[in-house]
Amino acid sequence: MPAQQPSGALPLYLQISEMLIRDIASGRLPRGTRLPPEREMAKSLDTSVGTLRKSLAELEEKGLLERRQGSGNYVRGSSAPEGIYALYRLELLEGGGLPTARILDVKRLPKPADLPQFGASIEGHRIRRLRFLGGKPASVEEIWLDGSYADRLDADHLSHSLYLYYRKALGLWITGFRDSVGVDAAPEWSPPEFAPAPGTPCGCVTRHSHARDGGVAEVSRNWFDSDVARYVARMR
């Protein structure tokens, strides 16, 4: 399980449920799998049985888990589960992995010339993060959010799902996106924990995220370590 989380992190029971949702979606927990006994599972996740039960209740409500009295908890299905990270397409090579992030830098700046034209403002909020999957450094990302949506962003609340933060704090709903996957040089600002050295080729995902009005609200680039993570899009 993730270690001590920064302020603004998801509650622990949601972190556990999101981890399990991604494991189910990736096939690491196939349909019909019986989960370990709750006390054993709670111990392995370094949490209380009460917290684990809240997590399992989330899965049951989403139709992903069947709780059989006297028998245990069984994975019920894996068809496009809707979780907080449903739109996050990177996962561990073995599947799944709870996404977390460490904030590297947050600034409001004029949009650079190499960024596609988008949004109503000439400025944007540049967010740089180191992303982890299951605690492993997996990618670095640079996000540009159009400056018209907020005067400033609260960096303490940007270490988990940005789309959730946008919705709750800014009233901005991301309703669609377009991804382009290719190869690019790792950025010069990459921290030492990210294995590909600055300037070396690595996988890169460029995303244009759309708001409810159809306009592009955010443009991001995500450089990932192909020895740790892969890009996956599923349709079931």
Phi, psi of 53 (to 5 degrees): -65, -35
Which amino acid is present at 81?
A: P
Rg of the chain (C-alpha set)? 19
Report the Cα 5 to chain-centroid distance in Å: 15
Sketch out the chain's domains with CATH numbers: 12-75 (1.10.10.10), 90-231 (3.40.1410.10)
Per-residue pLDDT at 70: 83
Query: What is the 3 state secondary structure string of 66-88?
Result: EEECCCEEEECCCCCCCCCCCCC
Whole-structure pTM value: 0.79
151-162: b (≥16 Cβ within 10 Å) or e: eebeeebbbbbb
Per-residue pLDDT at 80: 56
For the chain, 236 residues long, give each residue's pLDDT as a single digit of tens.
Answer: 444 444 456 788 888 888 888 888 777 888 889 999 999 999 988 899 999 999 999 888 888 899 888 888 999 876 556 677 878 899 999 988 989 999 999 999 999 999 999 999 999 999 999 999 999 999 999 999 999 999 999 888 898 889 989 998 999 999 999 999 999 999 999 999 999 999 999 999 999 999 999 999 999 999 999 999 999 986 65
Closest CA to 12 of 55, 60, 57: 55
